[in-house]
Amino acid sequence: MSAPAPHGLHHVTAIATQPQRNIDFYTRALGLRLVKQTVNYDAPESFHLYYGDTEGAPSTLLTFFAWPGAEAGHAGSGLVTATALSVPPQSIGWWQRHLTGLGIAVDGPHARAGEEVLTFRDPDGFVLDLVAAPGDHRSGWDGMAGIPAEHAVRGLHSVTMSERMPEHTVRLLTELLGMRAHSEDRGRMRFVMGDGGAGALVDVVPDSRARGLQSGGSVHHVALRAPDDATQEVWRQEILAAGLPVTEIRDRTYFRSIYFHEPGGVLLEIATDGPGFTVDEPLMELGRSLKLPPWLEPNREQIQASLPILLNRV
């Protein structure tokens, strides 16, 4: 049995250094919803924060491991060097004025693959693009953060993978993962999943620099979407058959995950679409309190004592 190609990006996880600053930036400056406060299941003394649309739907999710004291990462080959979010085409000017008004240095708008792009960084130096994406009908968060609904971020648009030997990465994306070559713009090669469009795009760019440092302000991993457990298991078997080490299926409460590295070094995840973020708190209360998986719940008091108190000011 051959698995269908992943049908889009599920989430991007990056590394932050100050969790409260991270919350303030992504909820107030970018208007995303904090949909879950939990911990890194593999290191529960640190937060794992999830942002997205109203319900935290797959392809809208940007998440952060909060590692206070982490040194600053630096760009280079073998890393995801930019994460793009989708906004309505008529909103680029509004976002340029909004970000500049907050004292955030903005590059652009500039043209890329026929779309207008603004580039800027979060407080940890994490590189973000806002892309004017026609045809993206996702609604995003509802504007309660002071961002007008008509300008709200719709979700993930794409990721940029910088590779010293891009041909090996391209082979994995197309031959193993079933992505389709879409276009090339000044060396930037775009690949699409599913129906294509915002939330289903991966860009690969050649990068002759030494390997980058994955730390504060850099991407930890990129997750691709599997519709269900059965499809994920088929993917796991196909990755093993291709000779790549892959983890066992891991329960992340809100989805299940497998992890493997592509040839250039980027950590990839295949995550199930469900069960979603309302499995342990109601929709209207998402992100308001610390949620732990059942196996960590007996240690709640100890875990909470190791974490700073956070305020969701939205």
Q: What is the full per-residue pLDDT of the chain (314 aa) written as tens digits?
A: 477 889 999 999 999 999 999 999 999 999 999 999 999 999 999 999 999 999 999 999 999 999 999 999 999 999 999 999 999 999 999 999 999 999 999 999 999 988 999 999 999 999 999 999 999 999 888 766 789 999 999 999 999 999 999 999 999 999 999 999 999 988 999 999 998 899 999 999 999 999 999 999 999 999 999 999 999 999 999 999 999 999 999 999 999 999 999 999 999 999 999 999 999 999 999 999 999 999 999 999 999 999 999 987 66
pLDDT at position 1 is 46
Q: State in Å, rounded, how far the first CA of the chain is from the last one.
A: 47
Q: List all residues 6 or more positions away from 175 whose beta carbon is below 8 Å from its beta carbon.
A: none
Q: Where are the domains of the chain?
A: 9-306
d(CA 33, CA 50) in angstroms, rounded, equals 8
Sheet holding 107-112, edge to edge: 107-112, 115-121, 127-132, 79-87, 155-163, 201-206, 188-192, 180-185
Is the whole model's pTM more than 0.85, yes or no?
Answer: yes
Q: How far apart are CA 293 and CA 188, in angstroms?
A: 40
- Please report, for residues 1, 188, 273, the alpha-carbon distance to residue 231 in angstroms, rounded to integers and kept in the order given: 10, 30, 11
Beta bridge partners of 74: 213
List all residues 6 or more positions away from 242 whose beta carbon is below 8 Å from its beta carbon: 176
Strands 43-52 and 33-40: antiparallel
In this predicted structure, what is the pLDDT of residue 313? 64
The class of domain 9-306 in CATH terms is alpha beta
* DSSP code per residue over the chain: --PPPP-SEEEEEEEES-HHHHHHIIIIIS--EEEEEEEETTEEEEEEEEEESSS--TTSEEEEEE-TTPPBPB--BTEEEEEEEEE-GGGHHHHHHHHHHTT---EEEEEETTEEEEEEE-TT--EEEEEE-TT-----S-STTSS-GGG---EEEEEEEEESSHHHHHHIIIIIS--EEEEEETTEEEEE-TT-STTSEEEEEE--SPBPB-SBTSEEEEEEEESSHHHHHHHHHHHHHTT---PPPEE-SSSEEEEEE-TTS-EEEEEES-S-GGGSS-GGGTTSSB---TTTGGGHHHHHHHS-------
pLDDT given at position 236: 97
Q: Are 200 and 222 in contact (CB under 8 A)?
A: no
**Does residue 308 have a cis peptide bond before it, meaning omega lies within 30 degrees of 0?**
no
Distance CA 16, CA 125 (A): 9
Q: What pLDDT does residue 3 have? A: 77
Per-residue model confidence (pLDDT) at position 240: 97
DSSP-derived pairing of the beta strands 256-261 and 250-251: antiparallel
